Structure formats: C-alpha cells, structure tokens
Structure 1
Amino acid sequence: MHYPAMLLLLLPGGAEAFRICAFNGQRLTLSKAAREHVMDTFVRILARCDIMVLQEVVDASGSAISLLLRELNRSHKTQVLDSYVYEDTDDLFAREPFVAQFTFPSKVLPSLVLVPLHTTPKAVEEELNALYDVFLDVSQRWQSQDMILLGDFNADCASLPKKRLGELVLRTQAGFQWVIGDEEDTTVRASTRCAYDRVVLHGGRCQRLLRSAAAFNFPRSFGLTEEEALNISDHYPVEVELNRAAPGLPPLGLAALLLLLLLLLPRLGLVA
C-alpha cells in the first residue's frame, strides 16, 4: 500500500523571520500520534515553523495528520501557488519529490519553491545527483531559480562518505549553498554524529535573505532524555530562517562619513 510519506504543513511561526523546516518524524503512525506526550512534543516542534516538510508519515488514513492539525493554529502568512510530483521516468527515486511553490512575504522574493527529498540509504548518491534534474525541471516549469532543496538526504556517514559527497552535482555546480554544514549533527542518538538532514539554497535573492540555518536540538530545548526524544524521532529537524527584506547597507564608519561630507560640501556651496 502506498502511504503519504511526506507532507507540507503551513504553520504559525515566528514574527521576525520566516522559518522553513524539514523533519523526519520516524514512521509517524496513528498509534504514535495518539500518544499524548508524543503529540505534545510534535506540536511544539512544528509550531516553531512557518512551513514544515514532515517526512516518514506512514498513515494511509490521514488520521495522524488530522490529530496534529487539530492541535495547531493554521497560518495565513503563506499559501500554495502550485505543486506537482516530479515525473520520475527513469525510476531513480524511491520517493519522487513533491515540489511546491509558495507565496513569500517579501518584496525582494514574492514566491519561493521548496523541493523536498527523502533519499533511500541504498541509493543516496544516485538520488542526490538526480535531484539536480529536478532542479532543472522546476526552473523550466516555473521560470524561477530561487528554491530550497531540503529533507533527510542521508548525506553523511556510511550512507555517503565525505569524499563522495564532494563529487555530487549539487556540490560541483555553481550556485548551490549547503547551509547545514558537513560537521553538523542531525541525529538524536549520542552514539551517532551524522549530517543526514540538509537544506540547500539556490538563487541570489533567496540566498541574500538568509538569516540563519541550523539543526534544532529539541531534546535539549524541551528537557527530554535521549529515550524520551527517541519516542518522537531519531532525527533533529533542520531549519532555515529567511528575512523578509534584503539586509541593508552596513553603517558607515567615522572615516567614511568624513569623506562623504568632504565630497558633499562643495556641491552644497558650503566651502569656497
């Protein structure tokens, strides 16, 4: 049976910046969502974000997501403009990317594309290289190169050694900014340290709006033991914050101000 393994949720996030997140919920089933302490933590994680890519939803009925949505207030900060499932004619993906275009509350960037992917550990390199073809397809379809590629890429440790990581098309082609670093740990278990989950930005306008990017250590933030956290997931969410406007010019130093004044005074007729 085919399960809806990935969902895009529009959620009420923070007011200062626009936060986009991806979270592998580690087999989010109805029975898992029905556990009160699990639901409470999921809500606290999801409510931090304006858009959440939630992966590993294994609930054909949709009831688990209904339970989540009942606990969340819906956001009016953004809306879906268009979406489609990538046509994987060569059967390269275990889970074909579901691509979506959103309105974005910025005059600099009025719309933004999200390209989520959850790779299978057996074919990480092949799928991540095929993700470049998805990027090209999206660019042609919507005439935009401002997009965010994100999700559980399995892009580290035994699944993809760092030497092979550096040879990916998304690493060798110019314009892709990997904002979750190779040394980041996106796993909950203390016994592992792997940057499986990633966020990659493309497009000058999108990259100029970048404010921050990180893995969200929810066990530390919520005071959970490792055992308690593993009831939620063995992954940390990864997230990126975008400003609504491009950063302004840095303030002028004293020397620059004096030089500017000397240049302006003759034009203002204040010096002979």
Structure 2
Amino acid sequence: MKLKNLLPLLFVFLLLTTLFSGCISLADNGTDVNDSSNSSQNASNTTPDNNSGNGSGNGSGNTSAGLENETKTCGICGEDLRPKTRVNVAAFNIQIFGASKSSNPEVMDVLAKTIRNYDIVGVQEIRDASGDSLPKLVDLINNGTDENGTPYNYDYVVSDRLGRSTSKEQYAYIYNKDKVYVASEPITYPEPDGTDPFEREPYMVTFRSNIGNFDALFILIHTKPDDAKNEIAELDRVVEYAKTIYVGQENYVIMGDFNADGSYFNESGSSDLKSDKYVWLITNDMVTTTKTNNTYDRIVITKSLEPYVTGNVGVYNYSAAYGLNPSQTTAVSDHYPVYVEFLAWVGEWGRMLFMRMSSGIVA
C-alpha cells in the first residue's frame, strides 16, 4: 500500500490513541538552555525553604525543576487542563514603594489583589533601605486562597539597591511558584568597563513554566526619564550580552517603566530596540499612567516568543477594577501595571502525540 494511502489510517490511529488512553505523565526535564557558570539548575532538584526569596541579586531565591516541572496531559480524563496552560506576566512601577506605602492597609490590599492576577510581576521603584516592605507585601499576597480554595504560593527574587544618587531603588520579580520556577541565577547587568549607560542597571532572570515549554529570560528596567532615549536603545546591547551568558536562550522579555513617551522619548521614532528582532506589545495608544495620557510602561519581546502570545495584552486599570476614587488610585501608584498572557505550551497536542509515539505508548 502506498504511503499516501496509509496517512489517513495513521491519523485516525493517533486521534483514537489521544482520546481514549487517559492521562499520562510527561516529565519535561530537558537540558538547561542557560549553560553558564551562573546557572544553579543543573545540580539541584530541591525546593528552597520559605526564606529563599530574600536574596539580593545573587540567586538565593532560585527553585529547580524536579517534580515541579512534571507535565500532565490527557485525552478524555475528566480534567480540563487548559486554565493551567497560561503564564500571565506583568510589569508594575509601584511608585516609591517603601515603609510609608507598606503601612497603608488599603494600598497594600490593592497591591496584593492586583499581583495575584499574574504569575510573574516585575516590580520597580522599591525604595526601602530596611528591606521590610517587599516581604511584607509577599506575605500579604500569600495570606488567603484562590477561588478553588488553594493557598496562594508566591515567592520573589530581588536585586541590590541601585542608582547613582542617594535615592536607591530595587527591582524584584514576584512569582507564582505553582505556575513557574526560577531557572537561572538572577543577575544585575554588569555595565562594560568605563561606561555607565543606566541609572539603574537592568535585572535579569530566567523563568520557566511548571507545565509546558514556556521559557524566557526576563530583563527588568526603570529608566531615568531624561536619559530614556539612550537607555532604551542600550537595552538591545543588554540582550546581546545576555546571549553570551545564557547560552542557547532565544526568548527574551524586556519590560518595565521605559519612560517611553512624552518629552522623554519619541514613541513613533526609531530605536535599536525597535529593530525587526523585537515586538512591542504595549502600543502607543495604551495609557499606562494614572495622572497623564502617556505610555511610559512597556513590554517588549523577541520574535521567537510571538507564538506564545495569546493576544491578551494591555494595561490593568486597578482603579476601575476596585472602584477607587482619584486619591485612592494615586495612593497606590502613578502607574498601572502592563501585562501579557503567554501560552505555557506551544504545539501542545503535537508534542504529546510525538512523545507518545517515541515512548512506545499505545492505546
């Protein structure tokens, strides 16, 4: 029988195998793409203790794949896994986040509820020399359960205090451990000798989804307004540097308060970060600030991540979501979070069928 006559039979066989063989467990424990001396994922499959997020840019908040990365897929098994195949990401400049703001219960409640909407949140403008405000916020985020009664399970990694002036700031990634894990050593971009392009050097780390094959290196930035044009252009060089450290990594998410509008940046002009390597997901018509009509905050991805973008991209207006008046809104921040939803698994069914065939699993 000719091959073309066998193809319909093969398709039917694969379809029936998928539908009626129930759930299988697939371990997605491939080789770490971040093949560098900074990666801590190649040697350990343990989960850190509850204090693991209290690092300062040296990776003490890392988790590893282990059983967290076990992927369950099924044909007809009574469980809808689709809600688990998304990774929601946001960047949020929490204006002057420190002791004063963290002592305001109403503000902290809005922040906690907002961050729970996402699996990875890049926080900027943390100004607290005591270091107490961020863990206080994460504790509040974890104080409760979701609509299914499951306790929240967030952790964080945080940078050193950065800035040329005495007014230092920190970056942090707050992340949902039930959805993603830290897959590389968090590092602060080391500016080349003799240069100082950034007021606050970008903070980068790799996240991977526990279910699926989503994997990306995140770069978080809060530019100095008056230098926004130059700092935004310099982010392309940060990506090129990261490729030499995170060998094999092609997926990048650059996000944060770019100050990419108004008198600081010609949002319709050219930039090294606007080459055909990148996609700007937060567009010029989106308002990301609470007091102006500017689009300061951005999420930019490399084109390799385009297949993962669901199209759910925008600005989260917490004022409208929680019925806040203007003074309550600005007490939280002068910025709204910007967000994007990624698929956790691109080619999910094709990959499942391939693994069934290659593993010799039959109905």
1:71 pairs with 2:173? no
Contact 1:209 1:247 in 2 (8 A): no
RMSD between aligned residues: 2.1
* Residue of structure 1 in register with 2:328 after alignment: 228
Q: Secondary structure at the match of 2:314?
A: strand
Match for 1:123 among 214, 219, 227?
A: 227
State the partner residue of 1:199: 299
Cα pair 2:94 2:125 within 8 Å, conserved: yes
Structure 1 residue 105: deviation in Å? 3.7
Match of 1:139 in 2: 243
TM-score by length of 2: 0.61
Deviation at 1:106, TM superposition (A): 5.2
Deviation at 1:235, TM superposition (A): 0.4
TM-score by length of structure 1 reads: 0.80
Please list, as runs of the form range in 1=range in 2, the aligned pairs for 1:6-155 lying within 5 A after superposition: 15=84, 17-73=86-142, 74=153, 75-82=177-184, 83-89=186-192, 90-105=195-210, 107-109=212-214, 111-142=215-246, 143-155=248-260
Indicate yes or no: 2:261 matched with 1:161: no
Once the two structures are TM-superposed, the CA of residue 203 in structure 1 deviates from its matched residue by: 3.8
- Out of 239, 246, 265, the residue aligned to residue 339 of structure 2 is 239
- Give the counterpart of 2:278 among 161, 164, 176: 176
Distance (Å, rounded) in 2 between the aligned partners of 1:221 and 1:175 = 35
For 1:203-233, what per-residue CA distance to the aligned partner results, in whole angstroms no more than 9, with x for missing partners? 42x2101012111011011110111100000
SS at the partner of 2:287? coil
3-state secondary structure, aligned to 1:240: strand
Deviation at 1:161, TM superposition (A): 2.4
Amino acid at match of 2:189: Y
Q: How big is the shift at 1:175?
A: 2.1
- 1:157, distance to aligned residue in structure 2 (A): 1.0
2:308 to 209, 213, 218: 209
SS at match of 1:157: coil
Partner AA of 1:76 in structure 2? D
Give CA-to-partner distance per residue, 1:150-203, whole Å, 9 cap, x none. Answer: 00000011111234xx210111x21200010011100112xx211100000114
Report SS of the residue matched to 2:108. helix
1:126 partner SS: helix
Instruction: Give a deviation string over 1:49-88, Cα, whole Å, max 9, x none.
Output: 1111111100111111121111122233222122211111
Kindly provide the amino acid, as one letter, of the partner of residue 60 in structure 1: A
Q: Deviations over 1:99-146 (max 9, x none)?
A: 10112245443x211011110001001101110000101122112120
**Contact 2:278–2:300 (8 Å) recurs in 1:** yes
Aligned equivalents of 1:168 and 1:99: distance in 2?
Answer: 21
Seen in structure 2, the aligned counterparts of structure 1 residues 222 and 175 have a Cα distance that, compared at 3 Å, is same
1:226 and 1:16 mapped to 2: Cα distance?
36
> How far apart in 1 are the matches of 2:325 and 2:253?
32
In the alignment, structure 1 segments of 5+ residues that lack a partner are 250-272
Most deviating of 23-32 and 81-90: 81-90
Deviations 1:245-268 (A, max 9, x none): 22789xxxxxxxxxxxxxxxxxxx
Distance across 1 between alignment mates of 2:259 and 2:347: 33
**Residues of 2 paired with 1:104 and 1:125: CA distance?**
33
Aligned with 2:288 (options 170, 175, 186)? 186
CA distance in 2, matches of 1:178, 1:133: 17
SS class of match (1:201): strand
Gaps of 5+ in 2: 1-55, 63-82, 143-152, 154-176, 350-363
Moved more, 193-202 or 239-248: 239-248
Q: Give the match's secondary structure for 1:53.
A: strand
Q: Distance in 2 between matches of 1:144 and 1:210?
A: 18
Aligned pairs, number: 233
